Amino acid sequence: MSQETKYTEDNIRSLDWKEHIRMRPGMYIGKLGDGSSADDGIYILVKEVLDNSIDEYVMGAGKTIEISIQGSKVTVRDYGRGIPLGKVVDVVSKMNTGGKYDSKAFKKSVGLNGVGTKAVNALSSYFRVESTREGKSASAEFSQGNLGEQEFLEETSRRKGTKVQFIPDETIFKNYKFRKEYVSKMLKNYVYLNPGLTIIFNGEKYFSENGLKDLLEDNNNKDDMLYPIIHLKGDDIEVAITHSKTQYSEEYHSFVNGQHTTQGGTHQSAFREAIVKTIRDFFGKNFEASDVRKSIISAIAIKVMEPVFESQTKTKLGSTEMGGDLPTVRTYINDFVKTHLDNYLHKNTEVADKLQKKILQAEKERKELSGIRKLARDRAKKASLHNKKLRDCRIHLGDTKKEAHLETTLFITEGDSASGSITKSRNVNTQAVFSLKGKPLNSYGLSKKIVYENEEFNLLQAALNIEDGLEDLRYNNIVIATDADVDGMHIRLLLITFFLQFFPELIKEGHLYILETPLFRVRNKKHTFYCYSDDEKREAIEKLRGKPEITRFKGLGEISPNEFVHFIGDDIRLDPVMLDKEMSIEQMLEFYMGKNTPDRQKFIINNLKVELDYVED
């Protein structure tokens, strides 16, 4: 019989603020990551510091914010009012301390829980805050939340405002690096939501005059828009709407008090509902909701008193109330859209005519596809009962919450040996595997009908649960895992073509990645290094000295499950698939998959990288 564990006062301990944040960082910043995903922790740290500077601008103080990222060091400088000098240490190191608890000072701010900069401080190996007000300044330095040097100046010529510098702690954020694309997108959203604000990032200027209208124009090709962007603004609400000529799915950009709510929430649901209701009433026809919203590209931003989010990272709004004397979020948005969109359509009959034709075309296509869709769904359900193509993860079996998908990853791979290795070495709780049978079909130029008629595409769509959009996407990370050879690259390209053609929002929202796997294994009796390039291989050889054993991996199937666990675990390397802002999706597909053979051949020759296999003596 096992000995009973003693439970006494000695078992009870209290963690101070920094210990708790460092022990449970996920509670404060979501997932950690290495910077390969837009929602990785290092970007949340940047956002938490920036939110304070944005709040200063919203309150009418400071029109310019400067940010620089040099290697791992982040610097954010605003020209707002500056932190009260006697509270500089407290606001970055004492929980539940901050100006946002005073609703008179910050009525509709981004952050309301007084945690943000404390989390940045605790999770940084170096953190420095400096405030300047009325010709005086105070500064303090920290390491992992521990206070170091302090300085107080009675006289200074520095401009008023706050400057924060930090370096994310490498013991918490392993092998991380900042990607300019993700920081750039974050900063663009800030200026879209704050017209008139200037952000300078590493010398590059970000500015917007037309808010959400600029957001849609910058993110989409003008020639693909069915009609000019409908841009409507109210006291606490702004919306922008258009429809795509070619895109199949719905696309929404939603924000609350300047926060990008990537998971939507009550405001986005109300917006989708309000658009359908208003258009039905305007045309006097009970159109199917999916037909009205098919191909829509839109954005909504609202301001709410003391918003309630469903997590510290604020990616989904839970509030149902606008606050103050205003009605509920749902009623407020519905009334605004009903009045202003209806007025716009009455005044712009040409837009209304194009919209009606688009809805009727969507209705026709839906009816033509209805029989095929039903057969495809039945086929997918039947296949899933005895289907080895999808080896799902346990989180979907035991947790039905929408938020469960945030932790999950789907590896798409080809061949029994490769999928077998990943399946045996994966984290069965959060990682799933979808096995392709040979090369997928080239879907360029084909209609949505092919998604249902092609077994591979139909089952992949069903596995992701994206037939009706990303609202119920089952996996946050979709990772293409193919061999680093010509065939593997071709499969990769065919899969990307499929997603671009039918589900571009998966790529736009940062869900699609390429798995990087090592090219070489360099080892001796004591140490083993996995190398992803010739340079890493040379460094490993130098470290081991002598004459180590060198293996060149030619395919994923050659990597044993015992080794594969290193490449899809904590040290996973993912290369995000990103769209080229200089080319539209249609232009991109035409270039890579169309018939412009000479242009493509020239591109391949100019960008060809020749890899020489290492020949052992």
In a domain, 292, yes or no: yes
Q: What integer pLDDT is reported at residue 101 of this predicted model?
A: 41
Residues 475 and 454: their CA atoms lie apart, in Å, by: 22
Q: What integer pLDDT is reported at residue 34 of this predicted model?
A: 87
Residues 237 and 174 in one domain: no
What is the separation of C-alpha 325 from the centre of its chain, rounded to a whole number of angstroms?
A: 34
- Residue 235 sits in which domain range? 212-365
pLDDT of residue 400 exceeding 50, the answer is: no
In a domain, 92, yes or no: yes
What is the three-class DSSP state of 362? Answer: helix
Q: What integer pLDDT is reported at residue 355 of this predicted model?
A: 96
Residues 227 and 129 in one domain: no
Residue 598: band (very low, low, confident or very high) from pLDDT cuts 50, 70, 90: confident
Residues 433 and 575 in one domain: yes
pLDDT of residue 439 exceeding 70, the answer is: yes
Residues 70 and 198 in one domain: yes
Closest residue by Cα to residue 523 from 545, 500, 555, 499: 545
Per-residue pLDDT tens over the stretch 176-233: 999 999 999 999 999 999 999 999 999 999 999 999 999 999 988 888 899 999 999 9
Residue 114: band (very low, low, confident or very high) from pLDDT cuts 50, 70, 90: low
Residues 318 and 395 in one domain: no
Contacts of 4 (CB under 8 A, 6+ apart): none
**Domain end (from 168, 185, 206):** 206
Mean pLDDT of the chain: 84
What is the separation of C-alpha 502 from the centre of its chain, rounded to a whole number of angstroms?
A: 19
Q: What integer pLDDT is reported at residue 615 of this predicted model?
A: 33
Residue 25: band (very low, low, confident or very high) from pLDDT cuts 50, 70, 90: confident
Q: Is the dihedral of CA 164, 167, 171, 177 positive or negative?
A: positive
Pick from 44-48, 58-62, 66-70, 466-470: least confident: 466-470
What is the three-class DSSP state of 327? Answer: coil
Q: What integer pLDDT is reported at residue 421 of this predicted model?
A: 86
Q: What integer pLDDT is reported at residue 6 of this predicted model?
A: 58
Residues 250 and 271 in one domain: yes
Residues 169 and 242 in one domain: no
Q: In what order do the strands lie in the sheet with 230-233?
A: 230-233, 237-243, 296-302, 251-256, 259-260
Q: What integer pLDDT is reported at residue 490 of this predicted model?
A: 86
CATH of the domain at 265: 3.30.230.10
In a domain, 135, yes or no: yes
Q: What integer pLDDT is reported at residue 201 of this predicted model?
A: 97
Per-residue pLDDT tens over the stretch 515-566: 988 889 999 988 999 998 889 999 999 999 888 999 988 778 778 888 888 8
Residues 102 and 174 in one domain: yes
Q: Is the dihedral of CA 29, 34, 37, 43 positive or negative?
A: positive
Q: In what order do the strands lie in the sheet with 573-576?
A: 390-391, 431-436, 409-414, 477-481, 512-516, 573-576
Greater model confidence, 165 or 28: 165
Q: What integer pLDDT is reported at residue 269 of this predicted model?
A: 92
Residues 342 and 398 in one domain: no
Quickly list DSSP for 467-529: TT-GGG-S-SEEEEE--SSHHHHHHHHHHHHHHHHH-HHHHHTT-EEEEE--SEEEE-SS-EE
pLDDT of residue 277 exceeding 90, the answer is: yes
CATH of the domain at 495: 3.40.50.670
Greater model confidence, 361 or 3: 361
Q: What angle do CA 523, 526, 532 make, to 5 degrees?
A: 30
In a domain, 350, yes or no: yes
Structure tokens at 174: 């392993």
- Residue 555 phi/psi, 5° resolution? -165, 165
Q: Is the dihedral of CA 348, 349, 350, 356 positive or negative?
A: positive
pLDDT of residue 104 exceeding 90, the answer is: no
Residues 358 and 406 in one domain: no
Amino acid, res. 418: A
Residue 12: band (very low, low, confident or very high) from pLDDT cuts 50, 70, 90: very low
Pick from 110-124, 158-172, 323-337, 516-530: least confident: 110-124
What is the three-class DSSP state of 121? Answer: helix
What is the separation of C-alpha 5 from the centre of its chain, rounded to a whole number of angstroms?
A: 44
Per-residue pLDDT tens over the stretch 285-332: 999 999 999 999 999 999 988 787 776 566 778 877 777 777 898 999
pLDDT of residue 370 exceeding 70, the answer is: yes
Q: What integer pLDDT is reported at residue 608 of this predicted model?
A: 47
Structure tokens at 419: 């999928």
CATH of the domain at 58: 3.30.565.10
In a domain, 11, yes or no: no
Quickly list DSSP for 407-470: G-EEEEEESHHHHHHHHHHS-TTTEEEEEE-SSPP--TT--THHHHHSHHHHHHHHHHT-TT-G
Residues 403 and 264: their CA atoms lie apart, in Å, by: 12
Closest residue by Cα to residue 380 from 446, 464, 437, 442: 464
Q: What integer pLDDT is reported at residue 234 of this predicted model?
A: 93
Q: What integer pLDDT is reported at residue 262 of this predicted model?
A: 83
Residues 201 and 216 in one domain: no
Residues 286 and 305 in one domain: yes
Q: What integer pLDDT is reported at residue 223 of this predicted model?
A: 85
What is the separation of C-alpha 357 from the centre of its chain, rounded to a whole number of angstroms?
A: 34
In a domain, 434, yes or no: yes
Q: What integer pLDDT is reported at residue 392 of this predicted model?
A: 87
User: Can you give the pTM of this predicted structure?
Assistant: 0.81
Tell me the residue ranges of DSSP E strands in 192-325. Answer: 198-201, 204-206, 230-233, 237-243, 251-256, 259-260, 296-302
Task: Indicate the number of domains in the chain.
Answer: 3
